[in-house]
Amino acid sequence: MTEARQQHTAARAVPSLHPHPELSALRHHNFRLYFTAQVISNIGTWIQITVENWLVLELSHSGLALGVTNALQFGPSLLFGMYGGVIADRRDRRRLLMITQACLGLLALAVGLLAGIGAIRVWIIWVAAGALGLVKCFDLPALQSFVKDLVGSAALPNAVAWTNAISATGRMIGPVFGGLVLTTRGVAPGFLINAATFALAVVVLAKLRKRELSPRTPVLRASGQIRQGLRYVCADPQLAAISIVMIVVFAAAYNFQISLALVASETLAGDSQTYGALMSALGLGAVVGSLILARHTRTGLPIILVWTCALAATQLAVAAAHSWVPLLAAVFAYGVSAGLFSVTVISTLQVRAAEDMRGRVMAFYSICFLGSSPVGGPTFGALAEWIGVSGALRVEASLCAVVATAAAIAWQAMRRCGRVV
């Protein structure tokens, strides 16, 4: 605990000695290779998501079938994600990622080949989606905690900002490429492209300079390590407060696919192109927010609460806008706030967590993030049917503001009692 707090304090207090602090992570040879591979792989993932969703609808003509597919992909992480975090703490993360990324590539290859010969069926997609979900239980915690192994503690917040920009860029560009692949080449190439990007990721992981990775001692196998990880999060006042805030924010403010779809159809009376434009504005904003923090990095609960309030304010702006230009501007600002919040939360968790707990802490983050959709999505949809999409946005903005205010009051009380560092 003491070591983690010292790292956290150093990350906040020590200014960069480099003239371009936004590039500190990219000065590491291993991170440059990893960054390049992950940009390509993330775009490939979103290409596959786009073509897979279309394929399921084409085969089944059922929204329920599409929902089952998504549940199979994300459900296992909610159930077994903490065990994946334990494995990430026990094992060599580079080798673990080589295995998980290879498995994900083989799954994409298998579905792509079956689609190419016309033998694909919905049940086959479901089996592949379930297998993908199980692999992701181990892949996500290792992927997120591996960033520290690549760059060390000093450049960690900057590296997290760049990796979050990767995710936002993939979410923004991948569906566009997926649509182009669908219209020009069909379904199968989308899966095969993603398989090729995973192959690239495996090759890059194998080519990393092992001597330049940050040294770490894997955790020894023992019973009760999942409970130990959860107790660790609850026992640290800052980690516990951040956990409560991010659970509420993810549920109330991260239902982009649903909220923006309703804004496009109800507020603008638009179609799928309108929705695509709003999602692109959101993605561009998230990239900008991430890159802002690549240069100006701060971590800790207080700045997380600032970005929580920014999310609430931008949700209110989206609710108040009723025409194209103001809505695009408000959604862009919404994306910027989301990027700022995500990067700061992940950076704080990574810096705050002790080395032997990092995998489990990041697994807990993934569970909170993925688990927000089954709760927040239906809740927002029900609110929108009851009081309209603008009213639903106002209610959920209020939830973000309330949790930020409550956490700020609790934080000040803990500081006065000397319970936080």
On whether the CB atoms of residues 188 and 115 are closer than 8 A, the answer is yes
pLDDT of residue 246: 95
What letter does residue 264 receive in the DSSP assignment? I
What pLDDT score was predicted for residue 16? 44
- pLDDT at 217 (0 to 100): 81
Question: Pick from 128, 273, 298, 105: which is nearest to 200 by CA?
Answer: 105
Query: pLDDT tens digits, residue range 116-127?
Result: 999 999 999 999
Q: What is the pLDDT of residue 4?
A: 47
Q: How much is the pLDDT for 18? A: 52
pLDDT confidence of residue 20 = 57
Predicted confidence at residue 399, as pLDDT, reads 97
- Check residue 194 and give its pLDDT: 96
d(CA 319, CA 331): 10
| Dihedral, CA of residue 301, residue 302, residue 305 and residue 307, to nearest 10 | -100
Q: Tokens representing 211?
A: 């001597």
d(CA 131, CA 167) in angstroms, rounded, equals: 22
pLDDT at 19: 52
Global pTM value? 0.83
Phi and psi, residue 157, nearest 5°: -60, -40
- Distance (Å, whole) CA 25 – CA 77: 29
First-to-final CA distance of the chain: 11
Amino acid found at 324: W
> Please, what is the angle between helix 156-184 and helix 29-60, to 10°?
40
pLDDT tens-digit profile of 375-411? 887 888 889 889 999 999 999 999 999 999 999 999 9
Per-residue model confidence (pLDDT) at position 156: 84
For the chain, residues with pLDDT lower than 70 are: 1-23, 63, 272, 419-421
3-state helix, strand, coil in the chain (%, to 5): 85, 0, 15
